[in-house]
Each structure stands twice: as C-alpha cells, then as structure tokens.
Amino acid sequence: MFDSYQSNTLHYDREKCINCGMCSIVCPHAVFAPGDEVAKLVDPISCMECGACQMNCPTGAITVESGVGCAYAMFYAAITGKEEPTCDTGGDPCC
C-alpha cells in the first residue's frame, strides 16, 4: 500500500517498512510515529520535505523530493535575510 499526498512529495510504501523507527526519530515535525507492525503516518501534511526520513530509511520505504516545498523556503529565507519564509516562489523558475 502506498501513501502519497498532493500537498507535498512524501511517498511512503508500508510494504517495505520494517518498523525500525528511524523515520520517527529523525523527523523534525513528527510526521511519522512508531506503529505495531509498520511506521504510522500521523501528520503527513506537516512534512517540510527535508529528506531526513528518506536518508535514514534502511529499506527505501520513504521517498521525498527534498529541495522543494517549505524546507526550501525556510533555508532560502535564512540565507537571503528575509524575515518570514514563504512557499510562494513569485515565479522563480528554480522552485
């Protein structure tokens, strides 16, 4: 069974999950939580697409297109000195 969301690029394949718990440990927004047999997606809409879960998943059960979405906006705001991050690209083709 696959879980994907239109609001971000998070993709989770429960059949590949071995319930190691790494996704729930590394996710800064508690998108995942330990489950009885596999990890649970508890708040997928909060995924900021940082890629930590994907990089730490030993089975490749999680994919996310890091470098897009709100994580990109937060990093861009920090680098450019903007006071508030926004996911509005303003037509910027790099986004």
Structural domains of the chain, ranges and CATH numbers in brackets = 2-80 (3.30.70.20)
Report pLDDT for 95. 41
Residues 6+ apart with CB under 8 A from 62: 10, 11, 12, 13, 23, 53, 54
Distance CA 89, CA 58 (A): 33
Q: In tens digits, what is the pLDDT along the chain, a chain of 95 residues?
A: 455 556 788 999 999 999 999 999 999 889 999 999 999 999 998 888 888 999 999 999 999 987 655 656 666 677 787 766 555 545 444 44
pTM: 0.66
Secondary structure element (H or E) that encloses residue 32, with its range: strand 32-33
Contact (CB, 8 A) for 31 and 19: no
For 60, other C-beta atoms within 10 Å of its C-beta total 9
